[in-house]
Each structure stands twice: as C-alpha cells, then as structure tokens.
Amino acid sequence: MRRVFFLTILMCGGSSLFALDNGLARTPPMGWNSWNKFACNVSESLIRDAADAIVSTGMKDAGYQYVVIDDCWQVSRDAEGNIVPDAKRFPGGMKALADYIHSKGLKFGIYSDAGTGTCQNRPGGRGYEFQDARQYAAWGVDYLKYDWCNTTTQNSVASYSIMRDALAKSGRPIVFSICEWGSSKPWLWAKDVGNLWRSTGDIQDKWDIEMKWGGHGVVQILDLQDGIEFASGPGHWNDPDMLEVGNGGMNTTEYRAHFSLWCLMAAPLMAGNDIRSMTDEIRGILTNKEVIAVDQDALGYQGRRVKRDGGREIWSKQMADGSRAVALLNRGDSETEIRVAWTDIGYPDSVSAAVRDLWAHQDLGSQQGGFAAKVPSHGVVMVTVRPR
C-alpha cells in the first residue's frame, strides 16, 4: 500500500497528485473580458449588453464564446464564507446572468485571485477554493481567471494546484486561466495546472511602452514570448494577455498587427473593447475569419519569430496541413519591403508555393523560393504559404 502511494507521488512529479486533464480549450479560448475597457465599472447590464453585441456583431459566428467579468463583481463574504456579488451592480445575481449568457449560446466566465484579496482588494480565494469552486459551478460558470495579487509568500504551483483540484471536484467543466504575469515561469509548470497562463505583465493600449510597474506595449509582449513557445499546445496555452484592439491607443495598422501576431502565436483571443459601439473597421479586424483560422489551427503550434533584421521581422506558424502562416512585421518608422525566403520557414528553396494574403483576402499566385511585400510602419502583411 505504502509503495503504491510513493510510486503515485513519484509518477506525478511531486507538486500535485493530479495533472490537468479537463479536456477543455483544445484550441485557444476566444471571448470577451471586461477589464481592458471597463476596469471596475462592471454591471449586469453591461455584461448582458456585451453578450448581445457578441451575437449581433458576428463575433459569435467568428468563434468568440466566453463572456468574462473581470475584477470588482464581488464585495464580501457572508457569515458562512460564501462569496457575495455586488447586489447594486448585479441585482439579478450571477445565476440569472449565467443563464442569460447561456441562452445566447455563449459561455460565462468570472474572475478571482489566489491570494487573500484581488488586485482591486475585493475578497480573494485563498482558503475558500473548494467552497468558491462549488459556488461557481452552481452559478453556471464555465471559465475562471485566477489572479496573483495579495499572495505574499504563497507558492504559485501549490496555490494554483489547489484551485485546479477544486475546479475538478466542482462537477462542472471550467476552463482555468492562470494569471500570475509570468512571475514564476509558468511555461515550465502550468501545463499540468491550467488551460492557459499569462506569460507577461499587463498589456497596455500602446504599440511600444514599458511601464515601471510591469505593464507592456505590444512589441514588448512579442519579445517576451521568445523562447517559451514550446509550452503551448491543445489544452494548455501561453497567454500574452487580452486584446486591446479598438480601445483607441493605437492606430488601425497597429491593431491589425497586434491581432495578426496574437493569432500567429496561437494566443487566447479575449477581446477587450466596447463591442457595443465598435466601428466597422475594428469589427473587421476582430472577425477576420482567415486570420482567426490561423489562431484556431488544430495543431496548436505557437508561431515564432524566425528572422530579425533591424525593424524587419518574419514570424512563422506551422499549421496542421503542413502549410505555414507567415507575418511580415515592420517595427520601423517608415514603410519597407520585407522578404521571406522559403528556407526561413522550413521549406527548400526549390519549392513552389501558393501564397494567400489573409487581410486582402486575395490569392497572390504561385511563388518560388520566397515572397516579398511592402509593409507599412508598425504593420504586418500576413499570408499563408502552401507548397504545391
């Protein structure tokens, strides 16, 4: 008996007895989250409107599914320790809101924190993991984002593993989204614990910025993915943070590049804008099905930078059918030509390949040895390359 017990511990790697095997997020999760645009200004009507807008704008058809309330929905715990939602902002309660979201054919997500308090100092989950998981399941929660504020000396693997086990026991399939900002290199351990894990500090609605407290612009986040791509795959994804597309701090070219590269990296796609009032241009970016198909490719390969020459970069993603998705990225201040050679993306020079532009929705014919295009400043040209 004793031998069996020790063997089990050895086989499970020591940190926990159960690996994550919840069958969820086989492709990167897609949805909408309240934080980037609304921060603490969340309410039942906002979340209902967001669910309606996901359907009416065509985002649901494009694959967006999870409607996630981030921080500030919770105010306290009651005498039995149950988490209490803000009754003024959510008068109908969480179960009714979940039912509404489900009635639209969408899924419901919520936010908490592994420490004693959330990042906005609302009650955290520490010590209440199993009770909270049961409550979330009873409400109909399908997705939990779990943050890392107010954790003092807690161990991240141990803390997140408790919630992983609590969710597993809750009786409901719940996607587990780890948000410890890459602090303890989750790409080395989180695959057995969560379905996705943030790999960086908080994204800012800026192309190029580095905040003292750890916020990053789009290009800083891109650079931080270098070398961790191996950890992503079906059921377990590096998460370079939610989208800022449509929030106003970047131009359309930059938002198109931001979205393209997130798709190329097989990133979770959580829109973070006000989808009730977005322009057609922004909707066109968020719902480009050809670019989304790159993100959602069944192989689950995280694309990576394969070449860098000053501000000219080539990013490539292997696809399940053997083709490549390629983004030519111009980080420089003026338009430039960028050329990808087939040898840069793992094909012989002699190969003749069909090239298709995923933003122009245009076949560019058969190209031998490589392909070149003019790329605007802070923009991308994104293509698929299919050897014939």
Q: How far is the CB of 198 from ligand GLA (least distance, A)?
A: 6
Least distance CB 119 / ligand GLA (angstroms): 3
Which of 32, 35, 207, 342 binds ligand GLA (CB under 6 A)? It is 35
Which one, 179 or 222, has the nearer CB to ligand GLA?
179
The window from 113-121, 264-272, 293-301, 304-312 that contacts ligand GLA (CB under 6 A) reads 113-121
What letter represents residue 4's amino acid?
Answer: V
Are 239 and 226 contacting, i.e. CB atoms less than 8 angstroms apart? no
Out of 113, 142, 165, 202, pick the active-site residue. 202
DSSP secondary structure letters along 273-334: S-TTS--HHHHHHHT-HHHHHHHT-TT----EEEEEETTEEEEEEE-TTS-EEEEEEE-SSS
Using CB under 6 A, pick the residue from 28, 29, 30, 71 that binds ligand GLA.
71
Contact region for ligand GLA (CB under 6 A) — 116-124, 248-256, 284-292, 341-349? 116-124
The C-alpha atoms of residue 167 and residue 156 are separated, in whole angstroms, by 17
Rank residues 74 and 330 by Cβ distance to ligand GLA and give the closer one.
Answer: 74
Among positions 179, 193, 270, 325, the unique one binding ligand GLA when judged by CB under 6 A: 179
Half-sphere exposure of 387 toward its Cβ, with a 13 Å CA cutoff?
Answer: 16
Per CB under 6 A, the list member of 119, 175, 266, 385 interacting with ligand GLA is: 119
Under DSSP, the state recorded for 187 is: G
Tokens of 83: 């988490």
Number of residues that bind ligand GLA (CB under 6 A): 10
Q: State yes or no: residue 271 binds ligand GLA (CB under 6 A).
A: no
Least gap, CB of 52 to ligand GLA (angstroms): 23
How large is the angle between the packed helices 93-103 and 44-56, nearest 10 degrees? 10
Out of 15, 116, 120, 131, point to the residue binding ligand GLA (CB under 6 A).
Answer: 120
Q: Which is nearer to ligand GLA, 119 or 167 (CB)?
A: 119
First to last CA, the chain: 59
147 is catalytic: yes
Furthest C-alpha separation in the chain: 72
**For residue 49, what are the contacts with CB-CB under 8 A and spacing of at least 6?**
276
Q: Which residues bind ligand GLA (CB under 6 A)?
A: 35, 70-71, 118-120, 147, 179, 181, 202
Give me the active site residues, please.
Answer: 147, 202
